[in-house]
Amino acid sequence: MSEQTAVLVLEDGRTFTGRAFGARGSTVGEIVFNTGMTGYQETLTDPSYHRQIVVMTAPHVGNTGVNEEDPESTRIWVAGFVVRDPAIRPSNWRSTRTLDDALAGEGVVGISDLDTRALTRHLRERGVMRAGIFSGEALLDAAGRRKVEQDLLDEVTAAPVMAGADLAREVTVAEPYVVEPKRGPASGTDAVATVVAIDLGIKSMTPQRLAERGVRTHVLPATATTQDVLALAPDGVFFSNGPGDPAAAVHEVELLRDVLDRRIPFFGICYGNQLLGRALGYGTYKLQYGHRGVNQPVLDRRTGKVEITAHNHGFAVDAPTDGESVAPHDEGRYGRVVVSHVALNDQVVEGLECLDLPAFSVQYHPEAAAGPHDADYLFDRFVDLMTTGSVPDRAVGDTAEGSASTGDATKETTDAPSH
């Protein structure tokens, strides 16, 4: 056995052999695939990928190396990294080191030189599952012999599953911090609005997008209380992206209901969209293989426009898509809700708008790091909501292009009512 050998073992017993990439050793987690052709550095440093092994479907990865400007957090969060053909040397003027060196430096175990197309097709057919990457001494038993596949599979099946996982507190900021506005009458001091952002795994570009619009953002940890939020007298509250099962986020949902009860303007993305759904009383469910990449088509039912968007999620909201519904929580105290956006690939709910409260959310990443910028307008909509105090215009209801069903997405519905 070559010291460069690495083995990927899936929960269902299928194995792939390749070359060690990044750190040597072992890692386990939920294996998912990302369809983006660019933006691997943002993917690696996105806290939403905590406890996940990421497969890049683009065949050649690492061309531009790693730089100091593009990380979305202070560390690499992926549990493991799978690529087909890693670049031998980077070619970009901003590069400071290779992708291989960056992974090894942070102890991230990876594997390369395997058929990622066959692997992705397998995951599309069987669904996401647990997996493990093993290389170096992790492939050997105590006597120095190569471990049998069953031993490696036992390590994989001993790993925790993602359903039921409450992970926001494992990735959230330890202490609050402030991102000052970048424009305005006196940039850095005067702000058009003050936002409290709850860090559930926030990407650094998100408060920067608000700062570009003159907003001061106080980023608070996931453990923040209603009193912590109100003490900052925010004009709006934002819930970020993040990892884990929204059904396990009991504290965060209760905090959000306090925000809705006080009619504080609210905007949520990704995990924040799922938590708004649960706060309103809708269910959430685990997708068969999720949406991850920077090329996902989404219909904005308000305008009929199709946006190409950046995604990273494995759970979705189970809400009716055929017009208005009354939020089920507490006999409808939050009023009417519409599904504002839907995914065109599988009709998954991609956005919610409250018609009787100043609150809305989307399932994708409008900060677009990395990714297209079609959804930039959502930050403008949030600023308008805070500064004018008006509820956003009603989304399109039962139009030919706006109506959709929940489609054939495989579900594992959680405890909230299904609709």
If DSSP states are collapsed to H, E and C, what string results for 333-396? CCCEEEEEEEECCCCCEEEEEECCCCEEEECCCCCCCCCCCCCCHHHHHHHHHHHHCCCCCCCC
Secondary structure letter of residue 232 according to DSSP? T
* Phi, psi dihedral angles at 277 (to 5 degrees): -55, -45
- Which of the following is catalytic: 30, 42, 353, 367? 367
User: Would residue 367 show up in a list of annotated catalytic residues for this protein?
Assistant: yes
User: Would residue 365 show up in a list of annotated catalytic residues for this protein?
Assistant: yes
- Which of the following is catalytic: 270, 329, 341, 350? 270
Q: Quick one: pLDDT at residue 2?
A: 65
Percentage, residues of the chain above pLDDT 70: 91
Looking at the predicted structure, is the pLDDT value of residue 138 above 80?
yes
Q: Quick one: pLDDT at residue 184?
A: 52
Residue 370: cis peptide before it, omega within 30 degrees of 0: yes
Which residue from 247, 283, 279 is spatially nearest to 261, judged by alpha carbons? Answer: 279
Determine the average pLDDT of the residues in 286-299. 93
Q: Tell me the pLDDT band of 1, cut-offs 50, 70 and 90.
A: low
Contact predicate 225/201, CB 8 Å: no
Q: Domain boundaries in the chain?
A: 5-157, 168-388
Which residue from 365, 244, 363 is spatially nearest to 294, judged by alpha carbons? Answer: 365
Which residue from 73, 362, 381, 371 is spatially nearest to 239, judged by alpha carbons? Answer: 362
Q: Quick one: pLDDT at residue 4?
A: 92
Q: Under CATH, which number does the domain 5-157 receive?
A: 3.50.30.20
Looking at the predicted structure, is the pLDDT value of residue 186 above 70?
no
Question: The domain at 168-388 falls in which architecture?
Answer: 3-Layer(aba) Sandwich (3.40)
Q: Annotated binding residues for L-glutamine, as ranges?
A: 48, 242, 244, 274, 312, 314-315
Which residue from 109, 163, 114 is spatially nearest to 132, judged by alpha carbons? Answer: 109
Q: Quick one: pLDDT at residue 410?
A: 39
User: Would residue 341 show up in a list of annotated catalytic residues for this protein?
Assistant: no
Determine the average pLDDT of the residues in 133-158. 95
Single pTM value for the model:
0.90
Percentage, residues of the chain above pLDDT 90: 84
Name which of 63-67, 259-263, 353-357, 405-409 the model is least confident about: 405-409
